[in-house]
Amino acid sequence: MTDDSLACDFIRKRYVPNVRQPKVGPAMSSIWATIKNHYVMLQEEFIWIAGEQSKLNFWKDNWIGYPIVSQIQIPNNIPLESQVDDFIVDNKCVLPNTFWQSFLCIAADIEEVTIAERSTDVVRRRHCSEGIPKTSNFYDHIRPRRATVNWGKKFWKSSIQPRRSMTAWKAIHGCLATKNFSHKKGFYLPSCCRFCFAVEEDKDHLFVVSDFARTIWAKLESTFHAHLDKTGIQQLILSALNCKINKQVYNL
């Protein structure tokens, strides 16, 4: 969150004016909810590089590979307001003898830290030589990893009605108007499977688990001597596509 991109500037001014200590109070925004959920994970993945006039908190910020306060027992009533700049002398971090005597391993780690020849602090990703991360790097790190299957090419066929292809695409991506999808949108309404009238509806139940769906898949397996993976809707469709069935029958 230290680059000059438009998105980063907006997030910094609106939600994280102090990048080391984000806002605590609630904010009516889905953007802030997502940032807050991933902030601890991002703090563990990235490390601060202290500058000559560092404003980093000596105890709480991750500038030596870990926050110092996480390694020692400090009572909660003791204020930890010291900055790294308070210990920098001639571009080196000089610690008092009492700190060396009490926390030898931590002091040794601090001694290995190189103070950057710049006045400001910057954040970098661990074990990465790409330099200062941009907003896109943070997004790539936290975004959900999706399957590499190109479902569009598998569904859009000249022999299949477009509305059928769209229904299949929605089912794969969880966009059908089922219980799970409505909950994501904030609509908590009762739902019931129209096939069995016994359980709540979701995409896997409708297309895989319900008695109606299992009857259809069992009939197809016996007719075409194929084995379908019925652990989920994606696995089911992929296994059906991989079956050695005549192309004309498949398009039908």
Is 176 within a domain?
yes
82, 115, 142 — which closes off a domain? 142
pLDDT at 114: 83
89, 120, 142 — which closes off a domain? 142
How far CA 117 is from CA of 7, 66, 86, 90, in Å, comes to 28, 22, 16, 11
Give CA–CA dist 198/184, Å, rounded.
23
84, 115, 142 — which closes off a domain? 142
Residues 123, 62 contacting (CB under 8 angstroms): no
Are both 30 and 103 inside the same structural domain?
yes
The residue whose two tokens read 């391993």 is 105
How far CA 182 is from CA of 59, 179, 188, in Å, comes to 44, 5, 7
Are both 106 and 35 inside the same structural domain?
yes
Task: Enter the tokens of residue 76.
Answer: 């909660």
Tally the domains of the chain: 2
Give CA–CA dist 96/129, Å, rounded.
32
| Residue 82, domain extent | 6-142
Are both 135 and 187 inside the same structural domain?
no
Are both 54 and 106 inside the same structural domain?
yes
Is 179 within a domain?
yes
Give CA–CA dist 46/39, Å, rounded.
11
Nearest to 30 by CA among 53, 14, 46: 14
47: which strand partners? 124
Are both 54 and 123 inside the same structural domain?
yes
Are both 108 and 228 inside the same structural domain?
no
Give CA–CA dist 179/18, Å, rounded.
39
Is 10 within a domain?
yes
Q: What is the pLDDT along the chain (252 residues), one digit of tens a residue?
A: 555 667 667 776 776 655 555 555 555 566 666 666 666 666 666 788 888 888 888 888 888 888 888 888 887 678 888 888 888 888 888 899 988 988 899 999 998 888 887 777 877 766 555 555 566 666 666 666 665 677 777 777 777 788 888 888 888 877 887 877 777 777 777 888 888 888 888 888 888 888 888 898 888 888 888 888 888 888 888 887 777 665 555 555
Residues 116, 50 contacting (CB under 8 angstroms): yes
How far CA 19 is from CA of 9, 14, 51, in Å, comes to 11, 11, 16
